[in-house]
Structure 1
Amino acid sequence: MKQIVKNFASNASYQLFIIIFPLLTMPYVARVLGAEQLGVYNYTYSIAIYFALFVKLGADHYGNRSIAKVGKDLEKRSQLFWEIFSVQLINGLICILAYLITVGFFVQTNKTVAYIQVFLIVSYMLDINWFFYGMERFNIVLIRNVLVKISTLIFIFLLVKKPEDIGMYTLILNLGTVVGFLVTWLQLRHYIQFKKVSIKNVLSHLKPTGVLFIPIVSATIYTSFTSILLGSMSNMSNVGYYNAGSQILSMPKGIIAALGTVMLPKMAASYSDKNLKKSAEKYLDLSLLFVTFLSVAFAFGILGIGKDFIPLFYGEGFEPSVSVLMILCLYLPFYSWGNVIRTQSLIPQGNDRPFVISVLLGAIVSIIVNLLLIKPFGVIGAAIGTFASEVVLASYQIIAARHEINFKKFIQPLFFAIFSGGMMFGIIQLIPSHFSILVRLSLKVALGGLAYLLMIYLYILYSKAPVVNVLKQTLKRDKQKVN
């Protein structure tokens, strides 16, 4: 438990850094480039990302799980790495060529920015984070990412000065990631040996990675494909507004996802050992309890500060992003439960089918709702489509996991979290409007957060709910071990 908390703290700390990073860059970039040029970046990115996703297929989950299962066996680990990466390398070369041909023949506008996005595909080809996650060597990835972000920040401030610098902005973001992954390769020699691979063994990984690729590309439909639909059915400014609002959610989603990143390899190892299955079930219960409290806090907190935060963060001209943010933040509890179920139950146990089906259903719902609502409602319609898809995705995963997880014991904590979130929202609304926007926002975050934490603390202290008792017993045992 101590190691889990340590790993989560490291990943969550990085996610906090991710929160700080856009606080430093996006206000500057939004004002320098404007909504239309940001729309161009997001539109071309949304095209390139599909080619990039085909590079790794489902290697992020499959590679992570596979490396975790072989444990400390150097021979098996090395062989497995080179076989999975060979699939990634071959796919990468094919996708780079296919993307360049597609841009040359089918992209009519913004060709320069679109060509620069090829480095996004190169970065996916070099990405071996899945290996280090499977080894539970999270700090290697985190340190590299921090250095890449800092370097990117410096170059953006130095070289991006006007709307016409959108090409330079795209180049800085993508090349920084490529260099970061090259640095990661230098660390690889400490964990594996070089092994020759056979075509037969390489091809054996195509099917399992392909199965896990289906939900990944489907999930991208209601993220990147939404931008493509907005750009095609409305205009580039709407693409900028939608992505500006949704990008704010990458911060809380990243913190929630950090838990899944840490737990997936541990859960995969636990489920493969019958003696550790009870520990796996305990970790799953505690994770669901934790993300319930956390996601509800984020959802109500964003509802309370969104109107102040968007103008402060992006400046004037991004008012439509407020509505996008208000709608999207409501799916955070659904997202958090879905994330825990798939990364700590379905994927670690190799139960990929419900994961695949759930994301396919989410993608279908997203496409249908977007096609119906984007034309009459613009970015609002796109936000509703994304919300609907997340609800459907999480609901199906909950249904699929109902025999593995007793969800009834989470009803009481969930309702209390919603009650506490409502109280926090009410307190936030009491902050006088005559304060400056920065002071008002700071007071809302501080007072609202303190009120929510106090109510949750009192609930845990006095609650007799079974899952809360598990938390108390775990904390008590860990305290006794420390003493």
Structure 2
Amino acid sequence: MSSKLKINAIYNAFYQIVLFVSPIIVAPYVSRVFGPEGIGAISFSQSIFIFFNLLGSLGSGTYGQRLIASTRNNIEDLTKSFWEIVILKVFLSITSIIIYTTFVFYSNIGYKTLLLVLIVDLSVNMFDIAWLYQGLENFKKTIINQVIIKVLAIVGIFLFVKNSEDTYVYLLCFSIPLLLGYIALWKGVSKNLVKIKIRDLKPFKHLGGLVALFLPFIAILLFSKVDKLMLGFLSDEILEVGYYEQGMKFISIALGFITSFSVVLLPTLTNYFQSKNHKELKDIILKTILRVFGLSILLFLGLFVVSSNFVPWFFGKEFIPSIAIMKILSVLMMFKGINAILGSAYLISIYQQKKYTIAIYTSVILNILLNWLLIPIYFSKGAAYTSVFSEIFLFAMLMYFSKDVINYAVLFKLVWKYILAGIFTILPLGLLANHLDPSILNTIILTISLLLMYGTILIFVFKDEVIITSFKKIVGKFY
């Protein structure tokens, strides 16, 4: 690994830690200030806004990063590419602001103040040039910028959010630092560019490439956001969205960690495929699934067992209904990691993204239909059940499309020990959790007990080589 790659990896790891710590700092305070209704109103408004925000960018960040990376050895081409993407982003942002504002004023949806405040976020797209520095592999600048934005947002929340009416202030505490942070990225940008003639720029030639990236993005976004959107429309109580939002919060953090393995895996799999090294490609997929599933079961156990003790003291007693949501959604752990490996890593690496897109869109359709049926009956629980059913369906489709490298029989041979270790762990600790009062201390006790029991079963009962090897490496650092 090159020194630049190591440095970028360190900065990225630091940013992931910041992303993990931020909600831990903010969520308990915000939950108690706004309650389920306020959290639900914010979450529902954001779930509407995010689709217009995607329209305002059309995946231009990813496209721009790739374009800059491919032209960075020629400063004239790089400069031309930069200004073409900037002009196109400004055009798309203004278009999305017009459409969004028209929608807010002429629709019958409530929470207009919250929706209008989010226009600031649409304006941010015009100033966002983080993709330039990412394409130049200057991750230090963008990550430090993002960390400062996060810190300012957290400080703003504690200073200015004081009561349940301050939901719009809460949104501005994120929007304003983000806008200022992106404007700050423009400082010194001229050092990477040269002067060019405006008539030489052809920004709209990139529109086709952006649309091609937009199609899978919108499917993935629908798959992850449609539950809250439909819950807001189909449920009579906005607090149901609040229960779902808080029940999903730590699920999302854990899922982000699990699915990050696919990002690391993609370049390696692509290289193996292009060099026709199919044996190595298959081996690395199986080994990665083995490790990811072992970790996925541990995260499932943690979220399922600890939720009943954790939610009341962390979010507040008003969010006790979120316990059931977290327990249901914890099942996603067992499928999401494998789906990321087979879909966004394997199928894309072998240029079979069409199959992945088909699987995603089919799952989205199922998700919408199930939400339509279950939300009016079970409310936030119905949305949670839908998420799990849709993810399992996606898992089945991806297994079918990836049958040349893995099938259900092979998968079971890989993961049976983790499933049994999970069963032997969840039964006694589930009973213990029912007898412990909600508190920080008892949550810590449950978490440590879970780690020790799961690890002990895998090491001493099933002699799991992955766990034993990892344990030896950790111990070896101290002796």
Q: How far did 1:99 drift? A: 0.9
Seq. identity, %: 25
Q: How far did 1:156 drift? A: 0.4
Cα distance between partner residues in 2 of 1:277 and 1:188:
43
Give the SS at the match of 2:17.
helix
Give the SS at the match of 2:318.
coil
Q: How far did 1:68 drift? A: 5.8
Q: How far did 1:391 drift? A: 2.1
Aligned pairs for 1:197-212 within 5 A: 202-212=203-213
- Contact 1:15–1:251 (Cα < 8 Å) also in 2: no
Aligned pairs for 1:89-238 within 5 A: 89-107=90-108, 109-130=110-131, 137-186=138-187, 202-234=203-235, 235-238=237-240
Corresponding position: 1:254 with 2:239: no
- CA offset digits 1:350-379 (Å, max 9, x no partner): 433122212211210111001101111111
| Counterpart residue type for residue 179 of structure 1 | L
Cα distance between partner residues in 1 of 2:403 and 2:365:
23
| Counterpart residue type for residue 257 of structure 1 | T
Residue number in structure 1 paired with 2:387: 386
**Selected match of 2:246 from 237, 244, 258:** 244
Cα distance between partner residues in 2 of 1:70 and 1:402:
38
Q: How far did 1:341 drift? A: 2.9
Distance 1:219 1:344, change over 3 A: closer
Give the SS at the match of 1:291.
helix
- CA offset digits 1:370-413 (Å, max 9, x no partner): 11011111111111112222222333233223335677654333
Distance 1:35 1:21, change over 3 A: same
Distance 1:304 1:196, change over 3 A: farther
Moved more, 278-287 or 91-100: 278-287
Residue number in structure 2 paired with 1:449: 451
Aligned residues: 470
Unaligned runs of 5+ in 1: none
Q: How far did 1:293 drift? A: 2.0
Give the SS at the match of 2:319.
coil
- CA offset digits 1:209-263 (Å, max 9, x no partner): 3233223223333443322322222221111111111122121022123334445
Cα distance between partner residues in 2 of 1:176 and 1:460:
51
Residue number in structure 1 paired with 2:21: 20
Distance 1:261 1:410, change over 3 A: same
Residue number in structure 2 paired with 1:352: 353
Residue number in structure 2 paired with 1:314: 315
Distance 1:319 1:118, change over 3 A: same
Q: TM-score normalised to the size of structure 2? A: 0.84
Give the SS at the match of 1:163.
coil
Give the RMSD, CA atoms, in angstroms.
3.7
Corresponding position: 1:398 with 2:399: yes
Cα distance between partner residues in 2 of 1:166 and 1:153:
14
- Contact 1:59–1:84 (Cα < 8 Å) also in 2: yes
Cα distance between partner residues in 2 of 1:279 and 1:204:
39
Cα distance between partner residues in 1 of 2:132 and 2:366:
33
Moved more, 217-226 or 183-192: 183-192
Distance 1:203 1:424, change over 3 A: farther
Q: How far did 1:131 drift? A: 5.2
Residue number in structure 2 paired with 1:426: 427
Moved more, 87-96 or 338-347: 338-347
| Counterpart residue type for residue 387 of structure 1 | V
- Contact 2:80–2:201 (Cα < 8 Å) also in 1: no
Cα distance between partner residues in 2 of 1:405 and 1:80:
41
Distance 1:348 1:155, change over 3 A: same
Q: TM-score normalised to the size of structure 1? A: 0.83
Aligned pairs for 1:322-361 within 5 A: 322-361=323-362
- CA offset digits 1:292-313 (Å, max 9, x no partner): 2222211121111111111122
| Counterpart residue type for residue 233 of structure 2 | S
Q: How far did 1:429 drift? A: 3.1
Cα distance between partner residues in 2 of 1:10 and 1:171:
27
Distance 1:198 1:205, change over 3 A: farther
| Counterpart residue type for residue 244 of structure 1 | Q
Give the SS at the match of 1:36.
helix
Residue number in structure 1 paired with 2:370: 369
